[in-house]
């Protein structure tokens, strides 16, 4: 029996099937030299999920009435579909954008997966004019000639008439020869991302040896972003990395709202900063006698003090900001004290122009840690004529174990001292382990915000403001308040309510294989 013909038929079927499968992705239709590629899957499902999201219901209360542009209304009328139906039908499956070049407006196309019957119906209802056939696509234009729309059996492509040559060439060669999906660099970098993304981004500048890719993932209403990229600029950062841990946040207490730890120790800082510090430290040298005794990480943080922890009580929670510097040699704290004392002398000279009390400097001691306090709240309150803020800013700085802490209030500094001794620490807080931070081997940066704490903090401001400035809050109930203060109140109200729908936001970056920079951001919703 001669099997050659049946085998040839089977082979042809296999090849045809492979071609069909390849064409499932917009990247199979994009040119191999595309510099930018974006893809979004299941927009119809995302839209439906958002419509049922409690956060969407909350935000709708504060959104101004939406007036649809006349052109959009006309399209709905011609297609005999509402906006949601148009989005789901023509953009709801797989939506993509790609461009070639890196100029301000490089040539590109938008691709969307659309059933052929829906595409044909739209062509008829919109009275599109056929311009010709290019590859497997029929190219159309509206009667005014201001757009280009092409359809195939699975795809709709949209482009700008200014790039007609690009559009026709791309459509003619779509799915043939070299494509972006088969491009070695595209495959190399997109495969670094975990599977299951709902959105993908890819960008490169070949002349700069630079490439970036990111994937967006959903787990219920939680959102995760994964990043992988390479740039020659990253090497400059890697040279400054220390061996600090990815979750090393220093002596922070459980009242910390958010923090960022940066695992970078710059041994060659800005010459202007070096010159300034050398003037203060003379005859000592900042580069030779201070910098070598410092180490990574540097931690920036936001905390709070309850109203009853501040004297005089301001009637609302007080934000506290600060930094924690890791010390390689604790003796350097004397030099840091000297720098800050000198800076405060300059600040005191500036306050003399205000005709207020000078910044009072005092020494403090708490559980074995000594520190300095600069009472900046009193002159600030006198300048602003707001006596209630007199106790809100007491800049405090000093050594706590292997850390040097600078923060905006003495009582929070004392909480840091307690945390260093193992009392009420940030990392032991009940919700800290739920923040998806990982201990990467070579971290660059880790940061987080505890959304409920931030929301509660802002709520104390709103409660205080409503009782003291009722008219401003009445004005803020308008959709578009005229007064700047009312606009600020409305914005803070919306932000506070939105934050109550979240548990945490976090971001980490770290060095991957070779010179690759990896990153991950997580936005975790409240369990409903």
Residue 81 has what pLDDT?
97
Average pLDDT over residues 296-315: 96
Residues 80 and 164 placed together within one structural domain of the fold: yes
* Selected residue with higher pLDDT from 385 and 521: 521
Residue 518 lies in a domain: no
Q: What gap in Å lies between CA 304 and CA 320, rounded to an integer?
A: 5
Residues 151 and 288 placed together within one structural domain of the fold: no
Query: Where does the pLDDT of residue 67 fall: very low under 50, low under 70, confident under 90, or very high at 90 and above?
Result: confident
Average pLDDT over residues 462-469: 96
Joined tokens for residue 437:
């931070």
Residues 225 and 309 placed together within one structural domain of the fold: no
Q: What gap in Å lies between CA 375 and CA 366, rounded to an integer?
A: 17
Domain boundary among 370, 401, 426: 426
| pLDDT per residue as tens digits for the range 188-235 | 999 999 999 999 999 999 888 899 999 999 999 999 999 999 998 898
Residue 189 has what pLDDT?
97
Q: Which candidate, 232, 256, 259, places its Cα nearest to that of 246?
A: 259
- 241, 511 contact by CB (below 8 A): yes
Q: Which candidate, 338, 461, 297, places its Cα nearest to that of 389?
A: 461
Domain boundary among 371, 403, 426: 426
Tell me the three state secondary structure of residue 130. strand
Residues 170 and 268 placed together within one structural domain of the fold: no
Residues 318 and 410 placed together within one structural domain of the fold: yes
Joined tokens for residue 319:
């934000």
Question: Is the confidence at residue 314, as pLDDT, over 90?
Answer: yes
Q: What gap in Å lies between CA 351 and CA 65, rounded to an integer?
A: 48
Query: Where does the pLDDT of residue 267 fall: very low under 50, low under 70, confident under 90, or very high at 90 and above?
Result: confident
Q: Which domain holds residue 354?
A: 248-426
Query: Where does the pLDDT of residue 330 fall: very low under 50, low under 70, confident under 90, or very high at 90 and above?
Result: very high
Mean pLDDT of the chain: 92
Residues 48 and 127 placed together within one structural domain of the fold: yes
Cα–Cα distances (Å) from 472 to 435, 459, 489, in that order, read 37, 16, 8
Residues 197 and 257 placed together within one structural domain of the fold: no
Q: Which candidate, 214, 213, 200, places its Cα nearest to that of 40?
A: 200
Residues 228 and 253 placed together within one structural domain of the fold: no
Give every CB contact of residue 422 below 8 A, 6+ residues apart in sequence. Answer: none
Residue 22 has what pLDDT?
41
Q: How deeply is 489 buried, as exposed, middle or buried, from its count of CB atoms within 10 A (0-12, 13-18, 19+)?
A: buried
Residue 284 lies in a domain: yes
Q: Which candidate, 433, 398, 394, places its Cα nearest to that of 416?
A: 398
The answer to whether the Cα torsion of 481, 485, 488, 490 is positive or negative is negative
Beta-sheet strands, E only, within 271-345? 294-305, 318-327
Q: How deeply is 421 buried, as exposed, middle or buried, from its count of CB atoms within 10 A (0-12, 13-18, 19+)?
A: middle
Partners of 31 in the β-ladder: 179
| pLDDT per residue as tens digits for the range 155-184 | 999 999 999 999 999 999 998 888 999 999
Query: Where does the pLDDT of residue 266 fall: very low under 50, low under 70, confident under 90, or very high at 90 and above?
Result: confident
Residue 92 lies in a domain: yes
Residue 40 lies in a domain: yes
Residue 528 has what pLDDT?
52
Query: Where does the pLDDT of residue 527 fall: very low under 50, low under 70, confident under 90, or very high at 90 and above?
Result: low
Average pLDDT over residues 458-462: 97
Count of domains forming the chain:
2
- 518, 509 contact by CB (below 8 A): yes
Residue 99 lies in a domain: yes
Residue 30 lies in a domain: yes
Q: What gap in Å lies between CA 64 and CA 173, rounded to an integer?
A: 46
Residue 522 lies in a domain: no
Residues 192 and 327 placed together within one structural domain of the fold: no
* Selected residue with higher pLDDT from 97 and 232: 97
Residues 135 and 68 placed together within one structural domain of the fold: yes
- 193, 184 contact by CB (below 8 A): no
- Phi/psi at 44 (nearest 5 deg)? -60, -40
Tell me the three state secondary structure of residue 63. coil
Q: What gap in Å lies between CA 296 and CA 138, rounded to an integer?
A: 60
Residues 143 and 285 placed together within one structural domain of the fold: no
Residue 310 has what pLDDT?
96
Residues 72 and 193 placed together within one structural domain of the fold: yes
- 46, 56 contact by CB (below 8 A): no
- Phi/psi at 379 (nearest 5 deg)? -65, -35
Q: Which residue has the tokens 């499956």?
A: 93
- 374, 363 contact by CB (below 8 A): no
- Phi/psi at 103 (nearest 5 deg)? -75, -170
Q: What gap in Å lies between CA 434 and CA 447, rounded to an integer?
A: 14
| pLDDT per residue as tens digits for the range 366-401 | 999 999 999 999 999 999 999 989 999 999 999 999
Q: What gap in Å lies between CA 480 and CA 64, rounded to an integer?
A: 7
CA-based R_g, the chain, Å = 30
Query: Where is average pLDDT lowest: 8-17, 95-104, 373-382, 500-509?
Result: 8-17
Q: Is the pTM of this model over 0.85?
A: yes
Q: Which residue has the tokens 């000093």?
A: 398
Domain boundary among 391, 408, 426: 426
Question: Is the confidence at residue 15, as pLDDT, over 80?
Answer: no
What percentage of residues in the chain have a pLDDT greater than 70? 95
Residue 490 lies in a domain: no
Q: How deeply is 510 buried, as exposed, middle or buried, from its count of CB atoms within 10 A (0-12, 13-18, 19+)?
A: buried
Query: Where does the pLDDT of residue 17 fall: very low under 50, low under 70, confident under 90, or very high at 90 and above?
Result: very low
What percentage of residues in the chain have a pLDDT greater than 90? 84
């Amino acid at each position: 029996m001669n099997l050659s013909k049946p085998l040839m038929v089977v082979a042809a079927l296999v090849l045809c099937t492979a071609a069909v499968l390849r064409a499932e992705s917009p990247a199979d239709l994009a040119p191999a030299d595309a510099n930018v590629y974006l893809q979004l899957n299941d927009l119809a499902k995302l839209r439906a999920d958002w419509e049922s999201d409690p956060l969407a219901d909350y935000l709708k209360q504060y959104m101004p009435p939406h007036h649809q542009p006349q052109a959009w209304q006309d399209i709905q009328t011609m297609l005999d579909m509402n906006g949601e139906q148009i989005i789901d039908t023509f953009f709801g499956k797989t939506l993509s954008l790609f461009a070639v070049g890196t100029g301000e407006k490089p040539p590109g196309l938008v691709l969307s997966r659309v059933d052929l019957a829906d595409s044909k119906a739209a062509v008829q209802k919109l009275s599109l004019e056929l311009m010709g056939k290019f590859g497997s696509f029929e190219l159309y234009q509206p009667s005014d000639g201001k757009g280009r729309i092409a359809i195939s059996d699975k795809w709709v492509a949209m482009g700008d008439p200014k790039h007609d040559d690009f559009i026709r060439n791309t459509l003619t060669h779509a799915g043939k020869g070299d494509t972006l999906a088969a491009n070695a660099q595209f495959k190399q970098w997109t495969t670094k991302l975990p599977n299951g993304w709902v959105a993908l981004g890819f960008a490169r500048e070949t002349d700069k040896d630079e490439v970036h890719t990111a994937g967006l993932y959903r787990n219920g209403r939680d959102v995760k972003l994964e990043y992988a990229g390479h740039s020659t600029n990253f090497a400059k950062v890697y040279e400054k990395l220390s061996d600090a841990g990815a979750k090393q946040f220093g002596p922070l207490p459980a009242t910390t709202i958010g923090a960022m730890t940066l695992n970078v120790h710059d041994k060659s800082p800005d010459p202007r900063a070096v010159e300034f510090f050398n003037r203060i430290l003379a005859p000592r040298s900042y580069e030779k006698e201070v910098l070598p005794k410092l180490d990574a990480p540097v931690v920036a943080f936001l905390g709070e003090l309850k109203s009853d922890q501040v004297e005089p009580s301001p009637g609302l929670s007080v934000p506290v900001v600060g930094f924690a510097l890791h010390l390689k040699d604790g003796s350097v704290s004397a030099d840091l004290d000297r720098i800050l004392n000198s800076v405060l002398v300059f600040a005191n000279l500036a306050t003399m122009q205000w005709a207020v009390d000078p910044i009072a400097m005092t020494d403090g001691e708490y559980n074995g840690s000594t520190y300095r306090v600069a009472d900046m709240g009193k002159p600030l309150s006198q300048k602003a004529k707001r006596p209630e803020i007199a106790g809100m800013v007491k800049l405090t700085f000093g050594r706590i174990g292997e850390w040097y802490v600078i923060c905006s209030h003495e009582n929070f500094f004392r909480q840091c001292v307690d945390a260093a001794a193992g009392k009420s620490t940030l990392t032991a807080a009940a919700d800290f382990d739920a923040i998806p931070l990982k201990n990467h081997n070579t971290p660059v940066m880790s940061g987080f915000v505890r959304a409920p704490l931030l929301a509660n903090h802002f709520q104390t401001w709103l409660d205080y403001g409503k009782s003291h400035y009722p008219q401003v809050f009445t004005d803020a109930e308008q959709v578009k308040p005229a007064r700047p203060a009312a606009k600020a109140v409305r914005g803070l109200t919306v932000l506070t309510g939105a934050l109550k729908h979240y548990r945490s936001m976090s971001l980490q970056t770290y060095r991957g294989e070779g010179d690759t920079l990896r990153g991950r951001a997580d936005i975790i919703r409240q369990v409903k």
